[in-house]
Amino acid sequence: MATQLAGSSRFIGEANEALVSLVNTGRISGDQLGSFGQVALEMAKDTGRSIADVTADLARWRTTPRPGRRNTRNDTIS
């Protein structure tokens, strides 16, 4: 999966780091891993931020309830 995300051998290490960081959060499901990994890699490249910082933000956003939406426990947010 890291090879697919990297697009070139130059970024395989960064792609692998993104995937491992996302898995380690315990908040990203397996079927979402590729999508979140791609976003993390692109955000890190575009912003110059570290993969660790970007993946922490993505994991936090993944679990932050939004008004009018259901949270991860399917409770309605008021």
Instruction: Return the pLDDT at 75.
Output: 44
Model pLDDT, residue 9: 52
13 in a structural domain:
yes
* pLDDT tens profile 22-74: 888 888 778 888 888 888 888 988 999 998 898 888 888 766 555 665 555 54
Within a domain: residue 32?
Answer: yes
In a domain? residue 73: no
* 71 found inside a domain: no
User: How many domains does the chain divide into?
Assistant: 1
Domain range for 49: 2-63
Do the domain assignments include residue 77?
Answer: no
**19 found inside a domain:** yes
Listed as own residue / partner, the contacts of 19-28 with beta carbons closer than 8 Å and 24 or more positions apart are 21/51, 21/52, 21/55, 21/56, 22/55, 22/58, 22/59, 25/55, 25/56, 25/59, 27/59, 27/62, 27/63, 28/58, 28/59, 28/62
Whole-structure pTM value = 0.64
Residue 47 maps to a domain: yes
**Model confidence at 77, in pLDDT bands (50, 70, 90)?**
very low
